[in-house]
Amino acid sequence: MYRVKNSLAMVFGLIVIGVVIGVVLTTSFNLDSKSMAGTTDKIYTEASESNAGPTLTAGNFNPNSMFTDIVEKVRPSIVSIYTTKTVKLRENPFFFFFRDFGNIPEDHLPQPEMKQQGLGSGIIISEDGYILTNNHVVEDVDELRVKMIDNSEYEAKVVGTDPSTDIALIKIDAKNLPVAILGDSDNLKIGEWVLAIGNPLNLTSTVTAGIVSALHRSINILRGRNNVSSIENFIQTDAAINPGNSGGALVNLRGEVIGVNTAIATSTNYYMGYGFAVPINMAKAVVDDIIKYGEVRRGYLGVYISEVTPVTAKGVKLDHPRGVFVTSVIEGSAADKAGIKEGDVILSVDGKEVNRPNELQAKIGIKNPGDVVTLKVWRDGKELTVKAKLKGRDNESDEKETRISKKDMIKVPDLGMKLKNLNDREKDKFEVDGGALVTSVEQFSAASQARIVPGDVIIEVDGKKVESVSDFYDKISKYKAGDIVKLKLRTLQNREKFDRLVFIEIPKKK
């Protein structure tokens, strides 16, 4: 009888295991945008030997204290982000009522609106209140609040965003904040232990653990969002990530942030095994640009590329599939001027191998216009080394002299507007050979009160010609709070160009 029962139990166990395996093998994971887990002067602190966190040796290895030490150090620098935005309902609930009383078109009726609340996470990267998060957490929001681990709350404002990488930088008015240490994601290896820290499902300050499951993942979750090109080079992890974790930290065993948690692979909108994080090196490049220029200035190589398949490898006489295949080169681009040709295979960028199209995009995407990259190229059975000076999209100015360091920006009053240098096409359109183009204006700011609007070009400060953005900042930094400054603007309206004068008051520093 004992043997019979044992056999029956064994058979039943095998049946159960078979069913479970069948379910796992037939389950499909949908990667949908809805499944998003809800020499420069740096404002953040990078890892060094003195602040990199606990160092483990064979003699004192203790997994329990190792995790608790890391959490104790990093947790205070992770915040909750609460957002509110107004959304318009697709259908007007009063349409049928009004239709009964007359043939009124629906688009003539008032469109109903509702307030939508959101939740995300953020990483404090400077003592004076700069916080790193995801673009999709703060995109198009009306209100933005940040809650610290001690339950103190602050109003926040968006400093800058980059939809291409889903990274955003926000700011609160605070001092002496606990700051996360940012590591080097280029040194990350598959199999490393990592912790995900954030605020999933409104559960404040939650920690989960896992390993790095894969690197250089492209999951097509950003493609087509906001009509911009995407740069996806995600870190994949099995540390549990859920809605609300977005913008939180992925941390290594040294207590360094090596990724910004962003998305999950799911068919339910909740965690089903894998999450994805933006590498911190990519996020740092975005933050540096936002601080220096008020926008992301991304270098472009100017090639169309594809994966090197086994067939492609045979066709170009490679020993095995590696590198990234150049299908065509844009005329006049950085690649064209560097001598890159269609049919080439790009093997590395600045000594770092690239074996997928998104890896090449990521390596180039963290560079600025004007940067020179060294490419190893495979052509006609031989390796070549070429140097390419990257250009900006739409001929964006690539002169490094236009860069504004954070040190210089301290001298510049916050007028509440963002500026960029004009490219050649814009100079022709406005018939200028210099100036600073206004790209955005904050509500109730000094610029707004002076009736400056996006699309205006600042061509003079108190009668002196403005050559570039850096020249404008240099001129405006010489004034003090309360001074009235005369600006000449060039405006394009209904294809007609005209100049106008405005007066702006230099505000007090906040």
Question: Distance between CA 186 and CA 258 in Å, rounded?
Answer: 9
- Please report which confidence band the pLDDT of residue 449 belongs to, taking 50, 70 and 90 as the band edges: confident
Is the pLDDT score of 263 beyond 70? Answer: yes
The average confidence (pLDDT) of the chain is 80
Q: 320 a known binding residue?
A: no
Are residues 428 and 470 both part of a single domain?
yes
Question: Distance between CA 456 and CA 343 in Å, rounded?
Answer: 44
Are residues 319 and 389 both part of a single domain?
yes
Domain finish residue from 293, 308, 331: 293
**Active-site annotation holds for 289:** no
- Please report which confidence band the pLDDT of residue 242 belongs to, taking 50, 70 and 90 as the band edges: confident
Are residues 381 and 472 both part of a single domain?
no
- Please report which confidence band the pLDDT of residue 86 belongs to, taking 50, 70 and 90 as the band edges: confident
168 or 292, higher pLDDT: 168
Q: Per the domain annotation, does 491 fall within a domain? A: yes
What CATH number did the domain enclosing 483 receive?
2.30.42.10
Domain count, the chain: 3
Q: 245 a known binding residue?
A: yes
The residue annotated as part of the active site, out of 246, 348, 397, 470, is 246
Domain that holds residue 436: 411-505
Q: Is 45 helix (H, G, I), strand (E, B) or coil?
A: strand
The residue annotated as part of the active site, out of 35, 162, 164, 166, is 166
Are residues 193 and 285 both part of a single domain?
yes
Q: Per the domain annotation, does 333 fall within a domain? A: yes
Are residues 187 and 286 both part of a single domain?
yes
Question: Distance between CA 439 and CA 452 in Å, rounded?
Answer: 10
Q: Per the domain annotation, does 187 fall within a domain? A: yes
pLDDT of 421-444, one tens digit each?
988 888 988 999 999 999 888 888
**Active-site annotation holds for 445:** no
Q: Which bin fits 419, alpha (ψ -120 to 50), beta or left (φ > 0)?
A: beta
Q: What are the structure tokens assigned to 28, written together?
A: 């499909």
Q: 323 a known binding residue?
A: no
Q: Per the domain annotation, does 119 fall within a domain? A: no
pLDDT of 356-372, one tens digit each?
998 999 999 889 899 99
With contact defined as beta carbons under 8 Å apart, do 199 and 206 qualify?
yes
Is the pLDDT score of 172 beyond 70? Answer: yes
Domain finish residue from 293, 309, 341: 293
Question: Distance between CA 195 and CA 240 in Å, rounded?
Answer: 9
Domain finish residue from 275, 293, 311: 293
Q: Which helix (H) or strand (E) holds 498?
A: strand 496-505
Q: Per the domain annotation, does 116 fall within a domain? A: no
Residue 284, beta-bridge partner list: none
In this prediction, residue 354 carries a pLDDT of: 94
The identity of residue 349, as a single letter, is V
What CATH number did the domain enclosing 209 receive?
2.40.10.10
Are residues 375 and 455 both part of a single domain?
no
Q: Per the domain annotation, does 288 fall within a domain? A: yes
Q: Which of 28-37, 117-126, 380-389 has the lowest mean pLDDT?
A: 28-37
Q: Is 277 helix (H, G, I), strand (E, B) or coil?
A: strand
Are residues 218 and 288 both part of a single domain?
yes
Q: 246 a known binding residue?
A: yes
**Active-site annotation holds for 166:** yes
